[in-house]
Structure 1
Amino acid sequence: MSPTFSAQTQLGWQAGMLSARPGRPGEPPLPPGLHLMSGGGGSHDADAESALFVPPGTAGAALPLVVLLHGATSHPAQVLPILQGEAERRGILLLAPKSREYSWDIIRGDFGPDIAVLDRLLIEVFEHFEVDPARIALAGFSDGASYALSVGLVNGELFSRILAFSPGFLVPGRRSGKPAIFISHGNADGVLPIQRCSRRIVPQLRADGYPVDYREFAGGHTVPADLATAAVEPLAPAPGS
């Protein structure tokens, strides 16, 4: 059954605020593998394509969680490979929502529909899994990275870490907490050029007092495997490391 949200919670969505918080699960965990999730949004195609990857061998443990946001005109199946191998190796839950339109709501104007879906998805994950509240990250690539920065800074009391792979911008607004931020960007990015994107974003974040681990690399609009590894390492060191 879909949760019922108060008028205050729904008003908060318009400011990018999420109400979901980890706690004691009320349902059994989902088995390892990839699961499609509706986010409580009915039969809308965009909701139905959201996905949760459950790593093997994690029963009984408080797990780290990464929410991974796709780029414009993309979908979860295209963004999951960026971190799925690391999630499997390190025992990380990996949630990949699907935007309701071609990209995330704030990029088209205002927060709202996608925040509502993300809230529902997080509630569902927390209902099935014990998630470590100190190890919840919001990540994204391209437009998803811009959205991860924007939403993550609004919800810094929920997300301890933000992973932004080739972001374009971040929107001003309410801020909470001081999440650690990882940003990577290719110096030959032809989609979101580094000079007008990350090289502007990073100094702004540092001036605002956020701890930023910034990695430039030789390449284009992509996520090198070694930087994906570096981004998630603080959440869950690999076995034997």
Structure 2
Amino acid sequence: MSELPLEHVHVAPDDPENAPAVFVLHGRGADEQDLLPIAEALPDDLHVVSLRAPDPLQGGYTWYELDLSGGGLHQSQPDAADFARALDLVGESVHAAVDAYGIDPDRIGLLGFSQGAITSLSLLLEAPDRYAWVVALHGYLPDSHADVDPAGIDGKPVFVGAGTGDRVIPESRASAAADRFREIGAAVTYETYPVGHGIGDAELADVVAFVESQY
């Protein structure tokens, strides 16, 4: 395994040189194996780099601790210091993987679920020129990045998925994230599904179609 700041699983395409890539960010309490079934449904010519969050939690891992001062889990925010560290670690891992695996630096996508979605959306705002597209499932845009309006976001493809029965991250938070990205000029696809805090078959099919449309 090549040296990246974060532990990870790498699945190479048949023709890996200068191929596009998707970096996969799991949710709180999961690990780098959790979203591989999702990633395996994506186009075969993609590098898949599934990253493990840095901190152990309940048999899995977490990207950051939660700030629950706003009134509970459904209104949580990332702990500021932890979140900044996580964003740096993912950015450094992306940079290292490009060199290690021969990834085309101009065709990098992010796919995140829950905490991974929150992290992915924030990374796009911090470095829109680094990422070609983002899939953010059952996440939200944290307060720390709610007013960020970077150059380079105009026309950027962003897929936001939400569950109408999600009691961990309510649909309204995902919808607000989609609205904000529309306001700043991203090309947003927003879809809801009759599920809780998880990814069903219909959502997976829409994600695959969205990613396929980028190539």
TM, length-normalised to structure 2: 0.77
Which of the numbers 143, 151, 158 marks the counterpart of 1:181?
Answer: 158
Counting only pairs closer than 5 Å after superposition, residues 2-151 of structure 1 correspond to structure 2 as 36-40=1-5, 47=6, 49-55=7-13, 57-60=14-17, 62-86=18-42, 89-101=43-55, 102-105=61-64, 107-110=78-81, 111-151=83-123
What SS does structure 1 have at the residue aligned with 2:112? strand
Cα 1:190–1:112 change in 2 (3 A) is closer
Between Structure 1 and Structure 2, how many residues are aligned? Answer: 189
Q: Name the SS of the counterpart of 2:131 in structure 1.
A: coil
* Structure 1 gap segments, 5+ residues each: 1-35, 41-46, 237-241
Q: Secondary structure at the match of 1:163?
A: strand
- Cα offsets for 1:45-103 (capped at 9, x unmatched): xx3x3222212x2144x3111111111111111122221232xx431011122221242
Task: State how far apart, in whole Å, the 1-side matches of 2:183 and 2:32 are.
Answer: 33
CA distance in 1, matches of 2:52, 2:169: 21
Does the 8 A contact of 2:98 with 2:105 survive in 1?
Answer: no
Q: Show structure 2 runs of 5+ residues with no match.
A: 56-60, 65-76
Asked if the contact 1:155–1:176 (Cα under 8 Å) also holds between the matched residues in 2, the reply is: no
- C-alpha separation in 2, matches of 1:206 and 1:116: 25
Question: In structure 2, do the counterparts of structure 1 residues 158 and 126 end up closer, same or farther at CA, with 3 Å as the change threshold?
Answer: same
The reply on whether 1:164 has 2:141 as its aligned counterpart is no
RMSD over aligned Cα, in angstroms?
2.2
> What is aligned with 1:225?
204
* Distance across 2 between alignment mates of 1:120 and 1:201: 25
Question: What secondary structure, in the 3-state scheme, does the structure 2 residue paired with 1:77 have?
Answer: coil
Kindly indicate whether the alpha-carbon contact (under 8 Å) linking 1:145 and 1:167 is maintained by their aligned counterparts in 2.
yes
Of all paired residues, the percent bearing the same amino acid is: 22
Asked which structure has the greater CA Rg, the reply is: 1
Q: Contact 2:15–2:45 (CA<8 Å) still a contact in 1?
A: yes
TM-score (norm 1): 0.70
